[in-house]
Amino acid sequence: MDLKEVSQQFERFKAAFVKNDFDTCANLLSQLKVLLTKFRSLPPLFENTPNAVNELLLAREIYEHAVVLSVKIEDQDAFERDFFQLKPYYTDVGSRLPPSKQEYLILGLNLLRLLVQNRIAEFHTELELLSATALENPCIKHAVELEQSFMEGAYNRVLTARQTAPHETYVYFMDLLAKTVRDEIAGCSEKAYDYLSINDARQMLLFSSDQELLEYVKEEHPEWEVKNGSVIFQKAKESTPCKEIPSLQLINQTLSYARELERIV
Amino acid sequence: MSAGAATMVSSAGGLLAMLNESNPQLKYHALSNLISFVDQFWPEISTSVPIIESLYEDEEFGQHQRQLAALLVSKVFYYLGELDDSLSYALGAGPLFDVSEDSDYVRTLLSKAIDEYVSLRSKAAESSDDAAKVDSRLEGIVERMLDKCILDGKYQQAMGISIECRRLDKLEEAITRSDNVHGTLAYCINASHSFVYRREYRQDVLRLLVKVYEKLPSPDYLSICQCLMFLYEPEGVANILEKLLRSENKEDALYAFQIAFDLVENEHQAFLLNVRDRLSAPKSLPSESVQPGSSNPAHAQNENSTAPEDVQMTDGSSAVHEADPNEVMYSERLTKIKGILSGETSIQLTLQFLFSCNKSDLLILKTIKQSVEMRNSVCHSATIYANAIMHAGTTVDTFLRDNLDWLSRATNWAKFSATAGLGVIHRGHLQQGRSLMAPYLPQGGAGGGSPYSEGGALYALGLIHANHGESIKQFLRDSLSGTNIEVIQHGACLGLGLAALGTADEDIYDDIKSVLYTDSAVAGEAAGIGMGLLMVGTATEKASEMLAYAHETQHEKIIRGLALGIALTVYGREEEADTLIEQMTRDQDPILRYGGMYALALAYRGTANNKAIRQLLHFAVSDVSDDVRRTAVLALGFVLYSEPEQTPRIVSLLSESYNPHVRYGAALAVGISCAGTGLSEAISLLEPLTSDVVDFVRQGALIAMAMVMVQINEASDSRVGTFRRQLEKIILDKHEDTMSKMGAILAAGILDAGGRNVTIRLLSKTKHDKVTAVVGLAVFSQFWYWYPLIYFVSLSFSPTALIGLNYDLKVPKFEFLSHAKPSLFEYPKPTTVPTTTSAVKLPTAILSTSAKAKARAKKESEQKANAEKSTGPESSSAAANAEKGKSSSEKDGEAMQVDNPPEKKSEPEPSFEILTNPARVVPAQEKFIKFLEDSRYVPVKSAPSGFVLLRDLSPNEPEVLSLTDSPTSAASPAGGSAPAAGQQSSSSAMAVDDEPQPPQAFEYTS
């Protein structure tokens, strides 16, 4: 009975989802989640009720939609929340349910999210949990390749990968990834150069126009200075005078330790 | 679906994510699920604690949800080991924290909560303002816990917690709601004594207990009176006693007598006298004219006849006429109870018991005497001490009378102690004490005798009247003021202190003080001690006066005397004494620090207070003066005597110290706290010390060992026999150091103290401290500096007897059972041949035969031959048969002889024995004592030893009395009449033959 009610609600949700009526979707989703808490067969209780499989399937589908929805409304926090709630359906009860078509897509999205947020450690943790077949899946593979490029510093490959995204939902993250890449480059340039000419900086940071570059500097790096046609990184200002390594002293100490050790023995 | 049952959650991540949802219902769902998984997933949850905390603090969240969040955080913190945080969140969880839940979490937090609460409460109580505010939620938890305990019937837990938390209201509730109120009350009294460390608070607890007791339908007056004694409320006790005495029921009167005996056992003289004086005269409207008369024991026996008449004269309006049977009965009972309260009745009975059951082995003394070199005055006087201790309270002074020549070698101070020794032997001989000592006492103005024997005699009088000195006080004061010889002053000060122990009599104090201010070393020392004895446990301000003088004087002896005196004044005052203790222990003068150790010991006597123990241990290892260190260790014995099992453990390391003084202190500490217990660990600890390389350590160890082993026989611990042989060997060994020889001689005396019928006991049967005994041992431990103080040990002797008394306070024939093998508790076998070891070592056959011959000759010369002295078994049994009423004797079979037909004789060893009133019941035997079901007499209180009042089930039959061979009556009682003597008049006539005459006044030929 409850199940029916939830399914009807879900149908309404799906209708709104197709219509891209995201506000309605969010409302309905919130109600759905509350309704789901009534099912005792769902995680974390996993009670073996007669309708368990149906309920689990329904719940999984709801959460899968929730994840996709969160991508569509570009809400990373919601994505994380929903993904964690969805995860037990894949890991804990995966063996009891028919595999979901969406599974790899969503896992890949999650990997991408981690990459965007620069949470590389968690990215690899997730990766370790995947089976060999999963790694073959194009969605997953895409994310893995991206990560490799990212690590190698082949940023242009990362940016071109946007075109090869396996699913439309990936685009959102790919955009974000471009920004992440830019941040990385900015960080490196800051360390590497005292200043760059605006032209060089624009190329380096992969902007198409100077205007974009100036806006970017204004928003993200207000400490940079744009002067005389070049961008001056405040390296001289912030770099504390590098402490000289007291090598001579260290050598002397080590030698005396060695001598004394020899004497003791 | 089939495998579904095994599905387990692998992560709390989903639920944690749900916490971030905006919908409160989802958060609630997540919280309640997390609670059930926290035991498993706390590591995961711990990373999200801040989120949950913010939920707890979220005002918009529902009350229940917030509490749920608090509980979850509390559990996580519990797993993280952050108990403080965990507790504070558990408090936030309110009712969700279920005290009845049976889990580690709840148990841990509860104990944490209780600890916290206890420390807060006691801090609040100590700072005596409400500055330390107690969290009401914490209080709530503890209260819920207490309520639950009470509901579950765990009253003892509830009581323990409420005592610790200082929640007297809850304590009362726990007691009154328990199913066995008497049992819980008794438990509570016990707990308050052993676990409540602050004296004031303990008094509050006791006051509450008295209140509860009084509300009961059938109050347990015995316990109430004990409590009242602790609270020092003599009116309460007097009222109860009077109520009982006025009762129609004879049984109530018996009860009153029993209460009085129990109170007397605690030896709180000032209190007892106070109670006695408050008992109103035999009239409901007390007439003042009777009061002074009745307060004087000397007149007590007249009261029986005079009192009703007095009443008649003063009180006309009353309807009572002369022959009112109630009043007559009351006045008769009053006389009796006054006799008991003044201690005279019990002393009298004890004396009779010790005299009639005396089993001392004169042969041991003889051996000692012969083996000790004549010229060695230390060993010579040690032998005299040993004799006195062996015969303490028995009035048997045969040894002295037989060896007058030998005795006369005692000169100067030795003569002082020899004379004082008579006081120990005749201890408690209140009626004739003075006439016995008459030959030695200072004769008014004549100045005939030696000052040493005169001083000794005054000291002896003090010992005889120790703690019961009403009748002798005046005489001692006169003697003190009538002399300016310091030796006599010395004796008189000690005597006065003993006789007026703890009475805080201002006049006496001033007398002694004037002696102190003469600044004579010898007299001043005794004056210091005397003042302390007088003021025992009063925490008087005079202590500062004494301290000031101690700083002023040049004489070490005086300082030492005063230091001990000051320590005595704070006896039992616990925290109250802290300022004084602090002052003394910080003093420059090591002697005063040494006094400080005694002050610690006595103020915290028998409390096992951790603070005191810590302080003492600190001084024991850090003070620069050996004397202070030694005393600090020794003082541990006093602090711990209520828990003797602890002492060997605590001092075991100290007993291996490189410093001989510390070793000595450790030995005596064990001796003091384990005295009379025969504790195996104590013996094991002392054994190596008895063969220490340093002579005085051996001395201390031997004495301590004797104290531990007193009244233990070889059958219960074989090491006793070994120890006896060791003593003999040391005494006979010519090359042994004088110090350890002296120790051995004293040890031999203590081992057989009081005719083998006393033990050293610092606690009464109700587990309260016995003032006299503790004080006695404290002063005794001073013998290091001043040998005559050895006699103070006699104050700690208490007879091991069960004495049943009937309504007339006489000893009827009454039997009871000791459900143990007789051999376990019998007297040690008498030594037969003087010394076999010496015969091997030094072939002086003449010595042994002559000794034997002497023994025989002596036996013949004596009217009442003691069985021990005979040399053969046949004559022994014959003699024993001839002996009157001995319950247990040397031979196994004969143990039954008095009461059982001899058919048992052939059996190897009966598993029980029948004892006859009055009987020797050693402490270890107490648990085997059973009263016979079908006996004519039923005890009012089933105590296994001490004085027990008996209810006569067939009062019309004639009673058979035992214990009539009393040394009470004399031809001319010079020391004033006494009520007990009057009561005993019927039996005394036939006892005259047995009365040992006072020894001849021996002359000294120094």
In the block, tokens 């974009």 appear at: A212
Q: What's the first-to-final CA gap in chain B, in angstroms? A: 114
CB count within 10 Å of CB A77 equals 10
pLDDT for residue A223: 79
Where do the domains of chain A lie?
3-192, 193-237
Cα A78 vs. chain centroid, distance in angstroms? Answer: 13
* Chain A residues in contact with B29 (beta carbon < 8 A): 34, 37
Pinpoint the alpha helices (H) of B553-653: 556-569, 578-585, 590-603, 610-622, 626-639, 646-651
CA distances from B71 to A54, B34, B96, B100, B223 (A): 34, 11, 7, 15, 46
| Mean pLDDT across B820-825 | 82
Average pLDDT over residues B819-841: 65
**Mean predicted confidence (pLDDT) in B622-629:** 91
Cα distances (Å, whole numbers) of residue B179 to B152, B155, B174, B206: 11, 9, 10, 20
Of B230, B278, B209, which is closest to residue B771 (Cα–Cα)?
Answer: B230
**Alpha carbon distance B122, B165 (integer Å):** 7
- Which one of A48, A53, A87 has the shortest CB-CB distance to B14? A87
Chain A: residue nearest B13 by CA? A84
Lowest pLDDT segment from A166-170, B884-888, B941-945:
B884-888
d(CA B989, CA B349) in angstroms, rounded, equals 17
Are B21 and A81 a contacting pair at CB < 8 A?
Answer: yes
**Is there a contact between B20 and A87 if contact means CB atoms under 8 Å apart?**
no
Instruction: Specify whether the CB–CB gap between B647 and B637 falls below 8 A.
Output: yes
Instruction: Choose among B3, B20, B26: nearest Cβ to A77.
Output: B20
Is residue A69 a contact partner of residue A25, using CB atoms and an 8 Å limit? yes
Most A CBs within 10 A among B1, B2, B7, hence the mutation to make, goes to: B7
Please state the rounded mean pLDDT for residues B404-413: 85
- The more confident residue out of B380 and A33 is B380
Q: What is the pLDDT of residue B557?
A: 92
Q: Which of B475-479, B559-563, B939-943 has the highest mean pLDDT?
A: B559-563
- Report the distance separating Cα B481 and Cα A224, nearest Å: 106
Predicted local confidence at residue B184, as pLDDT: 79
In this prediction, residue B309 carries a pLDDT of 41
Gap from A133 CA to chain B (nearest CA, Å) = 22
3-class SS at B224?
helix
Q: State the Cα–Cα distance between residues B87 and B85, nearest whole angstrom.
A: 5
Whether B25 sits inside 8 A of A93 (CB atoms) is no
Mean of pLDDT over chain B: 78
Range with the poorest average pLDDT among B278-282, B378-382, B963-967, B972-976: B972-976
Are B314 and B289 in contact, with CB atoms under 8 Å apart?
Answer: yes
Please judge whether B17 and A91 are an interchain contact, meaning their C-beta atoms are less than 8 angstroms apart.
no
One-letter amino acid for residue B352 of the chain: Q
* Distance (Å) from the alpha carbon of B18 to chain A's nearest alpha carbon: 6
What is the percent of chain B with per-residue pLDDT over 90, rounded to a whole number?
A: 19
Task: With beta carbons under 8 A apart, name residues in chain B contacting A83.
Answer: 17
Angle at B375 between CA B369 and CA B381, to 5 degrees: 55
CATH level 3 topology of A3-192: 1.25.40
pLDDT tier, B999 (very low <50, low <70, confident <90, very high otherwise): low
B229 has pLDDT over 70 = yes
Average pLDDT, chain A: 81
| B857 φ, ψ (degrees, to nearest 5) | -60, -40
Burial B833-864 (b: 16+ CB within 10 A, else e): ebbeebeeeeeeeebbeebeeebeebbeeeee
Residue B760, strand partner residues: B797
Distance, CA of B549 to CA of A213 (rounded, Å): 96
Q: Is A33 in Cβ contact with B13 (below 8 Å)?
A: no
What pLDDT, on a 0 to 100 scale, did the predictor assign at position B858?
A: 55
Residue in A44, A52, A87 closest to B4 by CB: A52
Cα–Cα nearest to B745, from B407, B463, B373, B413: B373
Dist CA B798 CA B43 (whole Å):
65
Which tens digit of pLDDT belongs to each residue from B699-730? 999 999 999 998 888 888 888 889 999 998 99
Instruction: At A202, give phi and psi (nearest 5°).
Output: -60, -45
Residue B156 has pLDDT above 70, yes or no: yes
Nearest CA in chain A to B35: A44
- Beta-ladder partners of B994: none
How many Å separate Cα B65 from the centre of its chain? 60
| Res B298: pLDDT | 39
Given a cut of 90, whether residue B179 has pLDDT beyond it is no
pLDDT in tens, A169-195: 787 888 788 888 888 888 888 888 888
Q: Are the CB atoms for B692 and B726 separated by under 8 Å?
A: no
Asked which of A238-247, B353-362, B400-409 is least confident by mean pLDDT, the reply is A238-247
Asked if A66 and A29 count as a contact pair (C-beta separation under 8 A), the reply is: yes
pLDDT at A91: 79
- The arithmetic mean of pLDDT across residues B436-454, rounded, is 75
B25 vs A contacts (CB less than 8 Å): 34, 37
At a CB cut-off of 8 Å and minimum separation 6, what does A155 contact? A149, A181, A184, A185, A206
What is the per-residue pLDDT across B732-753, written as a single tens digit (0 to 9) for each? Answer: 888 888 888 999 999 999 998 8
Out of B8, B17, B22, the one facing A80 most closely (by C-beta) is B17
A195's enclosing H/E stretch is strand A195-197
Can you say how many angstroms the Cα of residue A99 is from the centroid of all Cα atoms in its chain? 24
Chain A residues inside the 8 Å CB shell of B11: 87-88, 91
What's the pLDDT at B300?
38
- Count the neighbouring beta carbons within 10 Å of the beta carbon of residue A240: 5
Torsion angles phi and psi, residue B645, rounded to 5: -65, -25
**Locate tokens 């199940």: which residue?**
A3
Across the interface, whether the CB atoms of A84 and B7 are under 8 A apart is answered no
Helix (H) or strand (E) segment spanning residue B913? strand B913-916
Phi and psi, residue A110, nearest 5°? -65, -40
What is residue A153's predicted lDDT score, i.e. its pLDDT?
79
B68 vs B443, higher pLDDT: B68
Distance CA A102, CA B907 (A): 97
Q: Which of B15, B23, B37 sits opposite A30 (nearest CB)?
A: B23
| Chain A / chain B CB contacts < 8 angstroms | 68
Give the Cα separation of B375 and B378 in Å (integer): 9
A195-219, pLDDT tens digit by residue?
888 888 888 887 878 888 888 888 8
Lowest mean pLDDT among B136-140, B511-515, B867-871: B867-871
Residue pair B541/B570 in contact by the 8 Å Cβ criterion: no
Q: Which of B228, B261, B221 is nearest to B243 (CA)?
A: B221
Sort out which chain A residues have CB atoms less than 8 A from B32's CB and list them: none
Q: Distance from first CA to last CA of chain A, Å, rounded? A: 84
Counting residues of chain B whose pLDDT is more than 70, the rounded percentage is 81
* B411-433 per-position pLDDT tens digit: 888 889 889 998 999 888 888 88
Which alpha helices (H) appear in B871-947, and where do they start and end?
873-882
Residue B890: HSE in the Cβ half-sphere, 13 Å Cα cutoff: 24
In whole angstroms, give the CA distance from residue B843 to residue A129.
Answer: 98
Report CB contact under 8 Å: A96, B20.
no
Name the residue type at position B279.
L
Contact A34 B25 (CB under 8 A): yes
Q: Which of A75, A81, A83, A91 to mutate to test the interface with B (most CBs of B within 10 A)?
A: A81
Over the stretch A119-143, which tens digit does the pLDDT of each residue have? 888 889 888 888 888 888 888 888 8
Please give the single-letter amino acid code of residue B144: R
Question: What whole-number distance in Å separates Cα of residue A21 and Cα of residue A73?
Answer: 10
Q: Average pLDDT in the B582-595 region?
A: 92
How far is B611 from B627, CA to CA, in rounded Å?
22
ipTM reported for the complex, 2 dp:
0.72
**d(Cα B94, Cα B943) in Å, to the nearest integer?**
50
The pLDDT, as a whole number, for residue B201 is 80
pLDDT band at B385 (very low <50, low <70, confident <90, very high): very high
Q: What is the spatial distance between Cα B555 and Cα B567, in angstroms, rounded to a whole number?
A: 18
Whether B794 contacts B776, CB under 8 Å: yes
Cβ–Cβ contacts within 10 Å for residue A255, how many?
10
pLDDT reading at B131 higher than 70:
no
pLDDT at B626 (0 to 100): 92
| DSSP structure string for B549-560 | HHHH---HHHHH
Cβ–Cβ below 8 Å for A91 and B10: yes
CA distances from B188 to B175, B208, B218, B229, B725 (A): 9, 11, 18, 16, 46
A55-59, A73-77, B658-662, range with greatest mean pLDDT: B658-662
For residues B927 and B763, the answer to whether their CB atoms sit within 8 Å is: no
Angle at B371 between CA B370 and CA B377, to 5 degrees: 90
- Phi-psi bin for B485: left (phi > 0), alpha (psi -120 to 50), beta? beta
Where are the alpha helices (H) located in A37-154, listed in sequence order?
52-72, 76-91, 103-116, 120-129, 132-136, 138-152
Identity of the amino acid at B56:
Y
Binned at pLDDT 50, 70 and 90, residue B998 comes out as low
- Beta-carbon separation of A43 and B16 below 8 A: no
What is the distance of C-alpha B332 from the center of its chain? 32
Got the DSSP string for B856-886? HHHHHH-SS--GGG-SSHHHHHHHHHHSSS-
Whole-model pTM? Answer: 0.68
B482 has a pLDDT exceeding 70: yes
What secondary structure does DSSP assign to B385-443, as a single string? HHHHHHTTTT---HHHHHTHHHHTT--HHHHHHHHHHHHHHTTT-TTTHHHHHGGGSPP
